Structure 1
Amino acid sequence: MSAVAHPHAGPSRRPDFLRWRRRSRLIRLLRLVLPLGIGLIFATLVGFVVHGTISGGPVRPDQADTPIRLVNFRLVGRDDRGRPFVLTADSATRDKQDYQRIHLVRPSLLIDSESPRPTRLSAKTGVMQEDTGKLQLDGGVTLNGTDLAVATDSSVYDTLTGVLQGEGDIAGRTALGDVNAKSYGVYDEGERMIFRGGVRGRIESK
């Protein structure tokens, strides 16, 4: 007994078979590639973690609390009588223990800066107390004005009242002559200057 042939069975199934074979190959390829890709990503993440640990890891609390430091510091203000002043410094750093304290390197204070006869106060170091307005200057303090030149160890300027006081071995030169003392004070917007403590001077005749 002879079999009945189906002329369209072979050709119609062959494209389906080819598609199935290609899909099967793709699936086998993906089963191989995907685990490799996942392993590569995991290895990369582990590498980043190890590198971060070796190079220092996360920021430590003491690093996070590093004080704020400004270079070429500049502060402009006025005292209670309206006299302007300009405070500059090579750098300014806030105190970690007292946020109101600013440590200054080579501060320079220009008092009555808009006047034709301003006064300049300079030092090696300084501390600005923002809550009280007091500026403490130390180390090689010099005070220079039109008819005034004073050198001392330490001075304090009150940015609120405009009063300037200094102490230490003071050597000064005024319009009247040379003077030596242990302390000095400048009051009344610079109109009155007082020397105290072992005052010695030489008045020059004009």
Structure 2
Amino acid sequence: MTEPGDNRDRADEARVAATAKQFRERSRRVRLLRRVLPVVIIVLAGGTVSWIVLRSVMSDVERRAGVSQQISLENSRFVGQDAEGRSFVIGFKRAVRNSETGRYRLIGPALRLNLGGAKVTELTADAGEYNEIARTVTIGPNVRISDGGSGFILVTPEAVVDTSTGIVTGSRGVQGTGPLGTISASSYAIYEQGQRVVFSGSGDNKVRGTINPARSDG
């Protein structure tokens, strides 16, 4: 016959044994985490640093690739013809091709139109852009247009040359001087590679001009 006191002792021993087992298991987990966590931290930190370094290297490679694809020309020129077979030359001190757009950024552009004709129209500026696909040349600022036949000089902030037609246009104002007088307008268009010039005004910016009196010789 089992005494009640013996049952209580056995139950207490069982609880103590279970508690001791749980404590030992918890201790093993704590010891394991103490060993594993520093390794995990080092791995994560190393991975972050490696990614930063890799990203920097990739960016540098991409930058170098972009530079290597960039075409730069010094003191050269482009030669072409319009739809009527009239020649033109786009000279420049420097041209840099944008690898993404295919356009050329021009430094010190100088254009000559109607080569071989009775008079050659010349355009110069500080900078510009040559769009070979659209067949346009946009130059500015400080555009100077000279007509070799009449001696007339136009000064304007910007000029757009359509190399397929030879037409030159500008809508940012223009001032002209020549043997016959002066003229100012809000926009202009030069046709037939310099054979004909049309001035236009808008609003308060009307076409204004002065005519020099004819000189009598003798």
Relative to the length of structure 1, the TM-score reads 0.68
Which residue identity is paired with 1:178?
T
The residue identity in structure 2 corresponding to 1:79 is: D
Is the contact between residue 111 and residue 124 of structure 2 (CA under 8 Å) also seen in structure 1? Answer: yes
1:175 CA displacement:
5.0
Which residue does the alignment assign to 1:160? Answer: 164
Mapped partners of 2:173, 2:121: distance in 1: 20
TM alignment of 1:55-134, pairs within 5 A: 60-66=61-67, 67-99=70-102, 101-134=103-136
Structure 1 stretches (4+) deviating beyond 4 angstroms?
none
1:64, CA displacement in angstroms? 1.4
Determine which structure has the larger strand proportion and give its number: 1
Aligned to 1:36: none
Q: Going by fraction, where is helix more abundant, 1 or 2?
A: 2
Aligned residue among 172, 187, 210 for 1:202:
210
Secondary structure of 1:62's match?
A: helix
Say whether the 8 Å CA contact 2:120–2:194 is kept in structure 1: no
* Matched-pair contact (CA < 8 Å) for 1:92–1:103: yes
Moved more, 185-194 or 142-151: 185-194
Give the C-alpha shift of residue 132 in structure 1: 1.3
Letter in 2 for 1:160: S
Distance in 2, Cα, partners of 1:116 & 1:169:
28
Answer whether contact 1:152 1:167 (CA < 8 A) is retained.
no
Q: SS of 1:63's equivalent? A: helix
Distance (Å, rounded) in 1 between the aligned partners of 2:139 and 2:122:
12
Which consecutive unaligned segments of at least 5 residues does structure 1 have? 1-56
Within-5 A mapping of 1:163-202: 163-197=167-201, 198-202=206-210
Measured in 2, the distance between the counterparts of 1:126 and 1:65 equals 22
Q: Secondary structure at the match of 1:114?
A: coil
Aligned residues: 150
